[in-house]
Chains A and B, each alone.
Chain A
């Protein structure tokens, strides 16, 4: 294991809602190594986006609440930082790219105004310097006619173009960590590939560490060094990319894997789908959160929550890999 740039320990992020307390992120620990990419996988609502927002310090408080844990970034706990200090880290040391390029850019400012804002804020560049740098960044993310685009408004750009702008914006201050929250989900398949390639390229070039959040294991396969699978606010499997693709251990990971369309396979075969949905926090089962949807669930799964335990050189949260599994019957 290399040097850790980010280490999250026992992070708990809760939300107080009208219907009660929602434990969106419930005791999550992981780390991102320098120049490496960590993939976080899970369906929507599993807590992966909240994890990233917690790191950025962008959870709305209230209704949100960081109930515990530490977020150590470059040796310092971000949770102890003041709002002022955090705003100096955001955009400069940790940058983020969001899911919806269509809505993540401010419609009433030009592309240039939005790129240069961070530059002028963090790098204290003058307007003209920022403009130069901004155009340079647009070229770097391979936007044709960068000078022209610089003065255009987001609605004049296509979705892929906008995501490139987002990337340019995120990388313009050379961040140490780039969090990508579903950066390709809203894009066409061909554009997806281009964007992922771009992220990979730029990562190599700048040496930035990346946290890649996605529900699409296909994306993970392209970019991730390590993979963390989340379900209902908890980590269910934590392994290297190779390990995961070689052998998904948690039934949920397994389910996710079989959702990837296999282009080489028989395309008449129906894609398997994980039946059901992520339970909402107020109907969370007593035992394992996944057990209502798990094809292999046994009584024990319904009774108590398994621990995240080491198995075969990785971490899995499933009774299947514990002593208890054999001792209990099915149904």
Chain B
């Protein structure tokens, strides 16, 4: 019986060494995950939906019937009809075209803001989790400060300070959301660093940088992927709120957020103007959420928080 245990132990070691060598690219792991994901029909449907939305964003110039900034003064706030399926806005711009083009901004805001958040969050989280002690204390306090700071005020200050622009919006949204990533990564790294194979590589003289970048972060990859997919819709929603305060995407660039905030005045007069970007946000957010949930279940059936 003890031999069996030994064999099991060896197997486990092989597995972990494999991870160490190849990162999470360990085919068995991702192969299994993908199999699990494929079985989740809802998640797969949402994945297709997301691909579709991204395609719409990429091919916006082909798909949109009008230039999204073209102002047709003869058709201001036109009701939906054959020329303008969703009507026009208060400048006579075609709402459908603006929704199609808006996907570019909204989707890229979601993705880029999450990349920013992940870069900051993973770095600080991993450092805090790995070193512990004073370093951890300081980084944890910084995280608490960021978390406790009222987010809209922070966004207003950042956007006023840096000036409004898509790039700055990315940064502001990233700064608003990195703490969640950092917390999760910190927790994971704290657990992982006690694992035997990390101890082993440390004993073998691996540098700290190597351990963090090659040993620890790849193992947090599934957590990161899940956080990113679930964080993207969050960023899209944030942009809508910021636009409502006039500090989101600046005219004439359409985003779903600034459309919905501009449309609120006309909600009873031209309901579609307000509803359509809202529906676009909702579909995207739902798709990202369900896909993210599916991904989480597939990557790590145990991780459910």
Any chain A CB within 8 A of the CB of B148?
no
Any chain A CB within 8 A of the CB of B203?
no
Across the interface, B39 reaches (CB within 8 A) one of A18, A261, A271, namely A18
Any chain A CB within 8 A of the CB of B303?
no
- Distance from A16 Cβ to chain B, minimum over Cβ atoms (Å): 14
Closest B residue by C-beta to A17: B39
- Chain B 17-56 per-residue mask, 1 if CB under 8 angstroms from chain A, else 0: 0000000000000000000000100000000000000000
Q: What's the Cα separation between A261 and B4 when bound, in Å?
A: 13
Q: What's the Cα separation between A261 and B1 when bound, in Å?
A: 9
Residues of A within 8 A of B1 (CB): 261, 271
Closest B residue by C-beta to A18: B39
8 Å CB interface, A242-266 against B: 261
- Distance from A256 Cβ to chain B, minimum over Cβ atoms (Å): 15
Residues of B within 8 A of A261 (CB): 1
Residues of B within 8 A of A271 (CB): 1
Q: What's the Cα separation between A18 and B39 when bound, in Å?
A: 8
- Distance from B261 Cβ to chain A, minimum over Cβ atoms (Å): 43
A interface residues, tally (CB under 8 Å):
3
Which secondary structure dominates chain A's binding surface?
loop
Residues of A within 8 A of B39 (CB): 18
Closest A residue by C-beta to B41: A18
- Distance from A183 Cβ to chain B, minimum over Cβ atoms (Å): 19
Q: What's the Cα separation between A322 and B1 when bound, in Å?
A: 36
Q: What's the Cα separation between A261 and B39 when bound, in Å?
A: 42
Closest B residue by C-beta to A189: B1
Closest B residue by C-beta to A19: B39
Residues of B within 8 A of A18 (CB): 39
- Chain A 135-175 per-residue mask, 1 if CB under 8 angstroms from chain B, else 0: 00000000000000000000000000000000000000000
- Distance from B55 Cβ to chain A, minimum over Cβ atoms (Å): 29
Q: What's the Cα separation between A271 and B1 when bound, in Å?
A: 8
Q: What's the Cα separation between A187 and B15 when bound, in Å?
A: 28
Q: What's the Cα separation between A59 and B1 when bound, in Å?
A: 33
- Distance from A276 Cβ to chain B, minimum over Cβ atoms (Å): 15
8 Å CB interface, B1-16 against A: 1
- Distance from A55 Cβ to chain B, minimum over Cβ atoms (Å): 29
- Chain A 1-27 per-residue mask, 1 if CB under 8 angstroms from chain B, else 0: 000000000000000001000000000
Q: What's the Cα separation between A261 and B2 when bound, in Å?
A: 12
Q: What's the Cα separation between A107 and B163 when bound, in Å?
A: 54
Closest A residue by C-beta to B40: A18
8 Å CB interface, A213-265 against B: 261
Q: What's the Cα separation between A175 and B302 when bound, in Å?
A: 36
Q: What's the Cα separation between A218 and B161 when bound, in Å?
A: 76
Q: What's the Cα separation between A8 and B252 when bound, in Å?
A: 75
Q: What's the Cα separation between A18 and B44 when bound, in Å?
A: 15
- Distance from B40 Cβ to chain A, minimum over Cβ atoms (Å): 9
- Distance from B27 Cβ to chain A, minimum over Cβ atoms (Å): 22
- Distance from A267 Cβ to chain B, minimum over Cβ atoms (Å): 11
- Distance from B112 Cβ to chain A, minimum over Cβ atoms (Å): 36
- Distance from A291 Cβ to chain B, minimum over Cβ atoms (Å): 25
Q: What's the Cα separation between A158 and B1 when bound, in Å?
A: 23
- Distance from B36 Cβ to chain A, minimum over Cβ atoms (Å): 10
Q: What's the Cα separation between A271 and B4 when bound, in Å?
A: 10
Q: What's the Cα separation between A129 and B198 when bound, in Å?
A: 55
Q: What's the Cα separation between A18 and B37 when bound, in Å?
A: 13
Q: What's the Cα separation between A278 and B170 when bound, in Å?
A: 54
8 Å CB interface, B37-95 against A: 39
Q: What's the Cα separation between A198 and B1 when bound, in Å?
A: 26
- Distance from A271 Cβ to chain B, minimum over Cβ atoms (Å): 8
- Distance from A167 Cβ to chain B, minimum over Cβ atoms (Å): 26
- Distance from A99 Cβ to chain B, minimum over Cβ atoms (Å): 18
- Distance from B32 Cβ to chain A, minimum over Cβ atoms (Å): 15
Q: What's the Cα separation between A76 and B1 when bound, in Å?
A: 44
Q: What's the Cα separation between A271 and B5 when bound, in Å?
A: 14
Closest B residue by C-beta to A273: B4
Closest B residue by C-beta to A259: B1
- Distance from B17 Cβ to chain A, minimum over Cβ atoms (Å): 25
Q: Can you list 3 pairs linking A and B with CB atoms under 8 Å apart?
A: A18-B39, A261-B1, A271-B1
B residues lining the A interface (CB < 8 Å):
1, 39
Lowest 3 CB-CB distances: which A-B pairs, in order? Answer: A18-B39, A261-B1, A271-B1
